[in-house]
Amino acid sequence: MSILENISADHFGRWLYREIMQKRMISPLGIAALLLVSLVTGFLAANDLFFVPLAAAAALIGIVLVYVCLFKPLAGFYVTSLFAVFVFYPNHLIGRDLLPLSPVWEILMLFTFLGSFLHGSKQIGNSGRLLNTMVSIVLMGYTFYLIAQVFNPNVPNLDAWFPSVRRWLVFMLMYVTAYRLIDSPEKVRFFVRFWVLTALMIAAYGCYQQWFGLLPMEMNWIMSTPGSYELLFQGGQIRKFSFLSDPATFGMQSGAMAVFTAV
């Protein structure tokens, strides 16, 4: 009886995979599932529970992203890198800082870091060689300096110290992850092309903001924070920030990539 049950379960699994994955939901089962999801979503929205399908969709996307970061860390690294570019843009479109997407990026980066050890380079001492480089020594020295600021009597509280240290530690994880995953000339060339195209996209949108002005939603985002307009309005115009968090980040990214591509 158990053998028959195993055969039936295996047959059902293959059928389910064929109907959903191979046929890409274009099957009676897939269409029925989509109709069911549509009906449930419409019912919830009609009863002022529209956030439930949104939360479910976000959870599903999050599960997929975590899976990619853990089991396909190189792809996850590019996903998190691209996600970092647009992490502030949804709030720009909403008109205020409502979505806490920065911690989401940090969590994805942590899973990518773990995935680089689970499925990344198998070379022994790969990370050890990285820590012996001058760049790593300087970065680690700066890391210890930031952590030591907790004992600085001029720091009134930890409200500003902790987020900056947390973000810097995530950057260090990204640094180590990139070293472990981008470990061949072909991968380096692909990464360079990826960032040149990404920087071009960021610059193009910054040019759009300069030539045609900010979107109304972006102006609402600026005005939602007291003092932001006065800070950004310099020299008779608003400083542009593209998809990024602020004009300073946009300027540093543009300048660094301009020098890099020129060299």
Residues 129-144 pLDDT 10s: 777 889 889 999 999 9
E runs forming strands in the chain: 233-234, 237-238
Q: Tens digits of per-residue pLDDT, 224-243? A: 888 888 889 988 889 999 99
What is the Cα–Cα distance from 90 to 165, expressed in whole angstroms? 25
Q: Are residues 143 and 69 in the same domain?
A: yes
Q: Are residues 169 and 262 in the same domain?
A: no
Q: Are residues 123 and 228 in the same domain?
A: no
Tokens of 93: 């479109």
Tokens of 37: 């999801």
Per-residue confidence band for 73, with pLDDT thresholds at 50, 70 and 90: very high
Q: Are residues 73 and 173 in the same domain?
A: yes
Q: Are residues 85 and 36 in the same domain?
A: no
Among candidate residues 165, 182, 199, the one where a domain is terminated: 182
pLDDT computed for residue 207 by the predictor: 94
Q: Are residues 148 and 218 in the same domain?
A: no
Q: Are residues 193 and 178 in the same domain?
A: no
Q: Are residues 177 and 196 in the same domain?
A: no
CB 73 within 8 A of CB 110: no
Q: Are residues 43 and 62 in the same domain?
A: no
Dihedral angle over CA of 61, 77, 171, 91, nearest 10: -40
Whole-number Cα distances in Å, 250 to 91, 197, 213, 240, 257: 17, 15, 16, 8, 11
Query: Which residues, other chains included, contact 71 with Cβ-Cβ below 8 Å and sequence gap of 6+?
Result: 115, 118, 119
CB 199 within 8 A of CB 85: no
Per-residue confidence band for 47, with pLDDT thresholds at 50, 70 and 90: low
pLDDT computed for residue 159 by the predictor: 76
Q: Angle between the 73-86 and 101-119 helix axes, to the nearest 10 degrees?
A: 160
pTM of the model: 0.78
Q: Residue 171 belongs to what domain range?
A: 56-182
pLDDT computed for residue 52 by the predictor: 66
Q: Are residues 157 and 85 in the same domain?
A: yes
Q: Are residues 189 and 208 in the same domain?
A: yes
Euclidean distance between the first and the last CA atom of the chain, given in angstroms as a whole number? 70
Per-residue confidence band for 126, with pLDDT thresholds at 50, 70 and 90: low
Which residue shows structure tokens 């055969």?
Answer: 7
Among candidate residues 127, 151, 182, the one where a domain is terminated: 182
pLDDT computed for residue 6 by the predictor: 47
- Residue 201 identity (one-letter amino acid): M
Q: Tens digits of per-residue pLDDT, 170-190? A: 999 999 999 989 988 999 999
Among candidate residues 141, 163, 182, the one where a domain is terminated: 182
Whole-number Cα distances in Å, 261 to 81, 85, 153, 213: 19, 19, 43, 27
Q: Identify the residue with better confidence: 2 or 154.
A: 154
The count of structural domains within the chain is 3
What is the Cα–Cα distance from 224 to 232, expressed in whole angstroms? 13
What is the Cα–Cα distance from 66 to 45, expressed in whole angstroms? 28
Q: Identify the residue with better confidence: 211 or 39.
A: 211
Q: Are residues 60 and 110 in the same domain?
A: yes
